[in-house]
Amino acid sequence: MEFEGLGYSLILAIDVQYDKTNGLVAGVALKSWTDASPSNIYVSKIENVDDYLPGQFYQRELPCIFKLLNEHSLRPEYIVVDGYVYLDGCSKPGLGKQLYDALHGKVKVIGVAKRSYVGISEEYAIFRGSSKKPRYITSAGETLSAAKLHIMSMHGVHRIPTMLKKVDQLCRLNGSTPTSG
């Protein structure tokens, strides 16, 4: 899978949503981790998405992510994914590690997961705002401590940073596609 693109945005938070056969991938571009609003919004529709295969989630997600990156000529320094880079924190590859490898290690990938995965230790947990429920941070190309600081510094006082909530909402627009900015 080749990564093309000339555009540059420092940070790109992405998320993918599916119906039975199609997908919608959204990305919000940030110039700084603390940005309260995106510098750009990108959305791509994907028709005939591959079926989900247990243990092979990345095979469904990667083509969607690459469509967004290529269709909008994006070349970020960081990509933040909804999920894990490493399922166990350090060696068992998840979506983020597969993405990092597919990009030949040229883009730092930070995973932000909502739930604990079997074998993930509390070392990967962060607590934002007054939430008693953690988010789990894993990364490739960036140290865990730096990745955790980046996500902690993101705008918003709640468990989910404002821009991660924004990209999730964009994916849930039930197929209506906002224009890219």
- Quick one: how far is CA 13 from the chain centroid? 5
pLDDT by 10s per residue, the chain, length 181: 344 444 445 899 999 988 878 889 999 999 999 999 999 999 999 887 776 665 666 777 899 999 999 999 999 999 999 999 998 888 889 999 999 999 999 999 999 999 988 889 999 999 998 899 999 999 999 999 999 999 999 999 989 999 999 999 998 874 544 433 3
Asked whether 67 and 25 are in contact (CB, 8 A), the reply is yes
Q: Give the per-residue pLDDT at 53.
A: 61
Torsion of Cα atoms, 167 then 169 then 174 then 178, to 10° = -60
Domain ranges of the chain: 11-171
Q: Give the per-residue pLDDT at 2.
A: 41
Rounded Cα distance, 178 and 94, in Å: 29
User: Tell me: domain 11-171, CATH 3.30.2170.10, correct?
Assistant: yes
Rounded Cα distance, 136 and 122, in Å: 8
